[in-house]
Amino acid sequence: MKQITILKNPRVRIAPSPTGFLHIGTARTALFNYLFAKKYGGKFILRVEDTDKERSEKRFEEDIMEGLKWLGMIWDEGPDIGGQFAPYHQSERSERHRFFLEKLLNENKAYHCFCTPEELEAHRNYMASQSLPIKYSGKCAGLDKKETEEKIRSGAKSVIRFKVSAKKIAFIDLIKGPVEFDAGLIGDIVIAKNFDESLYNFAVVVDDEEMRINCVIRGEDHLSNTPKQILIQEALGFKIPLYGHVPLILGSDRSKLSKRHGATSLMEYKKDGYLPEAMINFIAFLGWNPGDEKEIFSLQELIDAFDITQVSKSGAIFNIQKLNWLNGYYIRQKTNAGLSGLCMSYLKEAGLVDEHTDQEMVEKIVAVEKDRIKKLSEIAGITEFFFKLPGYQAELLIWKKSNKETILDSLMATKNLLEGLDEKEFSEIRIKSVLDGALIKFSSGEVYWPMRVALSGKEASPGPAEIAFVLGKQETIRRVDYAIEKLKLSH
């Protein structure tokens, strides 16, 4: 779009309210802002909109900041690092909000409204009964300055309403294209509870202007707020930024994304063992693609490829299988040492390792299992047998095409062959060679199946040679002896 090509030094912002944990939708909006800013040499600003005093909590603010940092989206200005247009907490900007509220009141572009909740409700019901657009009647718009002052002196409660001009508001959305609203259907809107409590549509306009935000990329749930904000910008003589409204993220059933579709808090995904590289790659493709078949992107590659005009106009489907596939890919790209370091906290939590555990052994385990895990939290469940003798029924040792006596003979023969290996020769290649040596007398199933079960206690696991190499000669022999005894004692 033409507006994008002429945009110089874009200043974009992500402005979350700290009333809940950072969720996927906000993270995706933040990412699109970040990519847009970096693509065109601009600035990415974090502003915390914490004016909801009852619901805003410091822990939510910290979670939001931690999540963005985890994904690699480092802001250029924000509450923790400051910047030219500080403060970056909206609650600390009330004096500036008050200044512009008074300006609108003095210029007769806003007024005090004294209508009670009961009066407003009665009017809404009447409008609904007549099938008319539900908007404020304008009852208090005609009060003169003297009447208003008298009511305020008498203690009458009021809010501040902005006078909405009945005209068409048109703009070109960076994602949706041409958009038009009939402001005559909106009615005069409340922009502040009082001089110290400005509401969203007013505060955001003032803050965006004073922070020189020239492009607003946000969720399409804010689309209906845009004409209201443009009217306020015009009334205050502010520059109107470019707008782009990102479609919602939908669950697999095409309903709004919720808990039933999976975790919605970003840090839940971190806790569950998803890698930031995978999350960034996945989130970027929620409603955007580069226009080719490429699916794997680093953050820098996303910056280079990002084009906001390629963001879809329709809702993006959250596909957990795709996320798992991406995460598995990025897990496999890790070095064994790097991946074992990432897995340690999950192994410790499961009580499988401690500070005395041999790190080299952990690396061997990770190397054997890295192709099988889709997220780090799976590591404890699928590797538990490496750390302690597995429990299983003796019958599991018997291959379906064989019998107890043959399997006993196979295990004892394999044990004797393994005992002949020197500890220094106990490599995966030599172990497999020994197992293959037993095939002279036994079938492949009669050798490999009982060895797999003896070492892992599982029907599905890495191959017995791989497991034995990790366990070492002494532990391997011990587990084979245990399997032989199990079979002897079974009926």
Q: Look-up: residue for tokens 């820098």?
A: 300
Rounded to whole angstroms, the Cα distance separating 194 from 335 reads 58
Tokens coding 274: 């998803």
Sequence-separated (6 or more) residues with CB below 8 Å from residue 363: 336, 337, 340
Q: CA 25, 26, 30 angle in degrees (round to 5)?
A: 120
Sequence-separated (6 or more) residues with CB below 8 Å from residue 474: none
User: Residue 406, Cα to own-chain centre: how many angstroms?
Assistant: 54
Nearest Cα neighbor of 68 from 41, 32, 39 is: 32
Nearest Cα neighbor of 65 from 88, 38, 42 is: 88
Residue type, 228: K
3-class SS of residue 421: coil
Rounded to whole angstroms, the Cα distance separating 477 from 459 reads 19
Helices 276-284, 320-333: inter-axial angle, 10-degree rounding: 140
User: How do the residues of the chain divide into helix, strand and coil, expressed in percent and rounded to 5?
Assistant: 55, 10, 35
User: Residue 142, Cα to own-chain centre: how many angstroms?
Assistant: 49
Tokens coding 203: 């505060």
Q: How many CB atoms lie within 10 A of CB 436?
A: 14
Catalytic residue check, 259 = yes
Q: CA 129, 135, 136 angle in degrees (round to 5)?
A: 110
Rounded to whole angstroms, the Cα distance separating 418 from 414 reads 6
* Catalytic, out of 259, 388, 401, 441: 259
Residues marked active site are found at 259
